[in-house]
Amino acid sequence: MPEDVVSSELRKQHLIDPEICIRCNTCEATCPVGAVTHDDNNYVVDAEKCNFCLDCIAPCPTGSIDNWRVVRAAWSIEDQLGWNELPAQENIAGDTSQLSGDAVEDEIEALLATAHAGAGGKVGPPASAAKPAVNLFRRAKPAIAVVQGNYRITAADTESDVRHIVLGFGDTPFPVLEGQSIGIVPPGTRADGKPHDVRLYSIASARDGEKRSANNLALTVKRVPGGVGSNYVCDLKIGDKVQVTGPFGATFLMPNAHDANVIMICTGTGSAPFRAFTEQRRRTGQNVTGKFVLFFGARTPQELPYFGPLQKVPDSLLEKHLVFSRVPGSDKEYVQDRIRREAVDMGTLLQSPKTHIFICGLKGMEAGVDEALADVCRKHRLDWTALKPDMRAQGRFHVETY
Ligand code: FAD
């Protein structure tokens, strides 16, 4: 079966977001098979000609080209030329009783609301983010994924057991964007006999898979002593089958625009979505002008997930600030300390309307980071108490902590 056909009935379709596209003609000029065409209204992709070579993705300055839907029947050119916005992802799981509309299961909605509360108010997605599919699979009818990998990504002699887990979805379409999460349903029941709650885990791979077009994704999961979900996931073996719900999350999403500056601040498994952002930029960001900056804190290098692979990410792709709080013989340093040390560059970035801030990790990191950003602002005669709500209102300030 070809890679673009995700099951015998369903296919992936490449679309252009008419709300973000600036009609610059770059995609039409780049496409080697003549699949992109336009009229006075829209630029569109001919599903019968597009061969998923992805040559058009990197040159597009806005990211509007990087939109995908799983469909039963492809949208025609005529359909697309008439659009003012992209259609929502159709219900592809075929369980209409469970999948109607945009309603999200209450338990997931509550988890996400709590995780995003640190932003201080309602946040929209970045203006140039692709449109996510959400809530395609629910507890009553989960997707079944098969474990393709389970690797420890912290040093074996440390207490912190963090794992890189790869899940394959086979023929089942499971479209995701960087920044979204999936739900894992731990098997078995609680002491009261009820099923375990779904646990959320951020996707740590780019939208087209841990391996490109392989219909798989990666997670970064930390084993929590006594924890039901994390121990279940961390103990998974290759070939095990896992019940997955989601995808979830429609706001904490990577901006697609080439000129977006992205500041990522994390600790521990909060790095998962930023690995996804970085992989996506590695694959599509050949023409980017925006800065990509990571502040990543851990106790020691041995306990910092992906420490080895991160060393190999070129500085031209990602400006890395890896900071440690428990290295013998060295001063303690937390992410907020490094943000203050980088006040000159950070201040310049904060003054740009193209800058997005993403904070992810443990709840405990929020206050310190907030104070550091306020200090940086003071040094540049900016008022963080005014700038933060502005950035939030423009979909440029995002927090996901748990
Ligand atoms: P739980 O079973 O829920 O237990 C939590 C804690 O309570 C443990 O310390 C446990 O020992 C204690 N506990 C449980 N039962 C009892 C009891 N009866 N008495 C006393 N103590 C008890 N995690 C990641 O690792 N990676 C991610 O990428 C990630 N992304 C997330 C994204 C979002 C949006 C959210 C909301 C959460 C995310 N999480 C992530 C956290 C994850 O969802 C789980 O909360 C985490 O794995 C712990 O779940 P658990 O089932 O292992 O622990």
Q: Is residue 212 part of a domain?
A: yes
In this structure, what CATH number is given to the domain that contains residue 205?
2.40.30.10
Residue 95 — pLDDT band, cuts 50, 70, 90? very low
pLDDT tens sequence across 128-140: 999 999 988 999 8
| In a shared domain, residues 222 and 270 | no
The predicted pLDDT at position 104 comes to 52
Distance 289 CA to ligand 1 centre (A): 38
Check whether 100 has a pLDDT greater than 50.
Answer: no
In this prediction, residue 369 carries a pLDDT of 98
- Ligand 1 pocket, mutate which of 123, 185, 200, 275 (most atoms under 8 A from CB): 200
Number of domains in the chain: 3
Q: Does one domain contain both 207 and 270?
A: no
Query: Quick one: pLDDT at residue 33?
Result: 97
Given this model, what pLDDT does residue 89 score? Answer: 81
Nearest CA to ligand 1 atom 11: 226
Select from 181, 197, 201 the residue to mutate for testing ligand 1; criterion: most ligand atoms less than 8 Å from CB: 201
Residues with CB under 6 A from ligand 1: 111-112, 115, 181, 199-202, 220-222, 224-231, 269, 272, 400, 402
CA of 360 to the centre of ligand 1 (A): 15
Statement to judge: residues 104 and 150 lie in one domain: no
Report for 105-109, 121-125, 383-387: range of highest mean pLDDT: 383-387
* Tens-digit pLDDT profile for residues 2-31: 444 444 567 888 999 999 999 999 999 999
Q: Whose CA is nearest to atom 51 of ligand 1?
A: 229
Report yes or no: 35 and 15 within 8 Å, Cβ to Cβ.
no
The ligand 1 atom at the shortest distance from the C-alpha of residue 222 is 25
User: The domain spanning residue 17 has which CATH number?
Assistant: 3.30.70.20
Same domain, 361 and 274: yes
User: Does residue 312 lie in a domain region?
Assistant: yes
Question: Which of 250, 262, 169, 253 minimizes the C-alpha distance to 209?
Answer: 169
CA distances from 337 to 97, 172, 355, 377 (A): 50, 45, 20, 14
Q: Please tell me whether residues 283 and 390 are part of one structural domain.
A: yes
Q: How far is the CA of 57 from the centre of ligand 1 (A)?
A: 37
Residue where the block lists tokens 């927090």: 399
**pTM recorded for the entire structure:** 0.88
Region 285-289 average pLDDT: 87
For residue 48, is it within any domain?
yes
> Quick one: 273 and 224 in the same domain?
no
Predicted pLDDT at 70: 82
The answer to whether residues 38 and 87 belong to one domain is yes
User: Is 134 a member of any domain?
Assistant: no
CA of 224 to the centre of ligand 1 (A): 7
Can you tell me the distance from the alpha carbon of 387 to that of 376, in angstroms, rounded to the nearest whole number?
12
Helix (H, G, I), strand (E, B) or coil at 266: strand
Structural domain of 347: 261-401
pLDDT(97) > 80: no
Considering the domain architecture, whether residues 221 and 289 belong to the same structural domain is answered as no
- Interacting residues of 49 by C-beta distance below 8 A, sequence separation 6+: 33, 34, 35
